[in-house]
Amino acid sequence: QSTNHRCNTEQTAKHEAAPKKDKPQTKSRMEQIFGFKKEDLTSWHSLVSLLNRPTDPASLGIFRCLFGLLMAIDITQERGLTHLDYKYLDGAPVCRFPLFNFLQPLPMDWMYLVYVVMFLGAFGIMLGCFYRLSCLMFISTYWYIFFLDKTTWNNHSYLYGLIGFQLTLMDGNRYWSVDGLRRPSIRNAHVPLWNYTVLRAQIFIVYFIAGIKKLDADWVEGYSMSYLAHHWLFDPFKLIFPVELVSLLVIHGGGLVLDLTAGYLLFFDATRPYAFLFVTYFHCMNSQLFSIGMFPYTMLATSALFCYPDWPRRFFARFPAFLRVVLPSTSPTTQPSTSCVYSETQATSTGRQETPSVSKTSKLRLKHKLGAIFTILYLIEQFFMPYSHFVTQGYNNLTNGLYGYSWDMMVHSRSHQHVKITYKDGKTGEIGYLNPGVFTQSRRWKDHGDMLKQYATCLSQLLPRYNISDPEIYFDIWVSINERFQQRIFDPRVDIVKADWSPFRPITWLMPLLVDLSPWRTKFQEIEGSLDNQTEIVFIADFPGLHLENFVSEDLGNTSIHLLQGKVNVEIVDQNKNYTLQVPAGAYHKVFTVSEEPSCYMYIYVNTTEAALQENFTKLFELQERVRNGTETEPLPPELQPLIAVDDDEGSEVNATDPIVRLFLKRQRRMKEVKKRREAGVLERLERFAVKKYYSIRRGFLMTAIALRNLAVGLPPLEQLTREVAFANMKEPPAEANQDERLKDEVGHGEL
């Protein structure tokens, strides 16, 4: 095997010592592949000795540094330091979704202090300075913020907390750390093998369980992430395959194979170079496809853990001598450590170079046994958690469990078509409707029964301020899971305020996912393919005995309902009479399911207002082209004169009296800006990215400084505080600052 690609697996001491060149190879086949012998697993004593076998601390130290750096950056980004005041809205009536209802955010200035403690903890981890204290500072505040808001939960945020917890128990400050400078006794000291075992096993679980979850039929058949095939990153594949095959083979097939095999490929010496290539490409693509912060870079940092633990020494030894003063140590000499278990006469080694033998007792201490127990119990727990939904049944919805610990990354895509919140005054019986999302900034409550219960309880406490007594709250929420029919999630007849909910019992007011109707998705594609570009379609499935109340905008002409399965009646609310399946615009209507089985139907409509607008735009564009090339001989009326104005000044406002002309010129400007951004060079894009991040991070630190000043010396006069916040809110130059807002409507999913 090549000495450049050898590996220490998560359960082995494969890197402890390389075979001596002056002796023949005597290792068994199992030891050559896995790094340990069968005898190492035959007794508790040998297993503890294996897990505490001395290992080079270099790779762990580099990972500790990278993880701390990435978390320090993450705190200002995904953790929300930059917009903390908008996130917690100090003093405002806001509905929150903590894991435990007694958890509440601190006053605003104190929340900034919490983030400061977390940031200092991450920074201390990076430097290896007061290492245990830094780890405790980081994980205590991190998990507090994590549990404070379930709406922000995701797999990688959960992973950050797990790694922070693991590092707290490990000897991560034995290499390239401030603690090593302060305490020579721990500098370059061995770490026990279980430090690497836990981290590598954790990353293996992330990949492998994610692959197991992708064996779901929706993923295998290509329905989970089909929209990604239209992203520009997959354009090279479209030169070979049609979009449908790019979605099925590249996105879904490639994602499944990579997740299932990445852990194994990183495990073995011969396949590791290919694994590095594939996972690097995969994570770099993810960083462009999704807004997932530091996760791709964190996963790239974990890949190096699978290499020999002395790889940093060999890597940094290639740098010029004058740089090694500030670079990690390249010396092969390592110190013995009480955290490890040594044989009676064992040569301490760092991969392939040895130091003189040291005599150590083989007696197992309590810390060695605790390290082994922790490793075993932790790995069992991590393999169990993704399949623990039979315990936490109250968190199961149309998909199982809280999205965070299951590693079912991107397996389910959702599309909401209809959300209605109805309240009823418990005393007067008055019925009214609430704007979906009132009193909250999150949208994830729509998909989770536990959050819906919290939201309804919060609304029942806030509505009495608006003279609504003892309110009853009803939700009618429709969603499509992985391109299925739009269907209800929760029973709209149940008052959620009084509804029963327990974390350990199934939600009784949860409607089942209509999986029997999944084969209809093939028919959907055929129907959509037969329509013209101006015709829209929505597929609906409803349960017997229920009805959909819907409103057709006056902009939508030729709206009709086509029955696919079952029986329905359509009633126009204002006229109180039944229609066949033709729905007039500008009126509420109800669609009753009157069959014994679920009804399936589809809305077909044309946005006549938009179609007319596009027709006018086409005529204006043709007129503008004729004026520019000189083929238009008739003089333009005053309202069309702006079409021939020279538009060199991109910062000027559109000046047109006719509203259609004004919209047309604004649309042209947006399209021009989109084209300019897409055709921008690498340096221009990097500059735009750097400027945006600078002002974002700048605001976070300035607002933090204001909050700490307030805690230390009290609030200043309101005028001063207003000026300080305005200074913190300073944005990049106007030409760039508002560009993203101007592009939103035009770009849409094309920039996803």
Residues assigned a catalytic role: 214
Return the exposure string of 265-279: e unless at least 16 CB atoms fall within 10 Å of the residue's CB, then b: bbbbbebbeebbebb
CA atoms within a 13 Å half-sphere pointing along the CA-CB vector of 135: 18
Which residues does residue 548 pair with via DSSP β-bridges, in sequence order? 591
What is the CA angle 503-507-508, rounded to 5? 145
Phi/psi for 433 (5° steps) reads -130, 145
- Chain Cα centroid distance, residue 707: 29
Bridge partners (DSSP) listed for residue 423? 432, 473
Dihedral sign, Cα of residue 72, residue 74, residue 79, residue 85: positive
CA 341, CA 4: separation in Å to the nearest integer?
27
The helix/strand/coil state of 154 is coil
For residue 487, list its beta bridge partners: 479
Both tokens of 403, joined, read 């999205």
CA 744 to CA 236: how far, in whole Å?
Answer: 26
Closest CA to 148 of 94, 192, 225: 94
CA distances from 603 to 13, 177, 485, 520, 611 (A): 63, 64, 12, 15, 18
The upper half-sphere exposure of residue 143, i.e. CA atoms within 13 Å in the direction of its Cβ, equals 11
Buried b (16+ CB within 10 A) or exposed e, 335-368: bbbebbbbeeebebbbbbeeeeeeebeeeeeeeb
Residue 592 Cα distances to 421, 515, 545, 557, 707, angstroms? 19, 21, 7, 22, 56
CA distance 158 to 162: 6
Q: How far apart are CA 142 and CA 235, in angstroms?
A: 39
Nearest to 197 by CA among 357, 319, 16: 16
For 582-637, the DSSP string reads B--TTEEEEEEE-SSS-EEEEEEEEEHHHHHHHHHHHHHHHHHHHHHHT---SPPP
CA separation for the pair 505, 489 (Å, rounded): 17
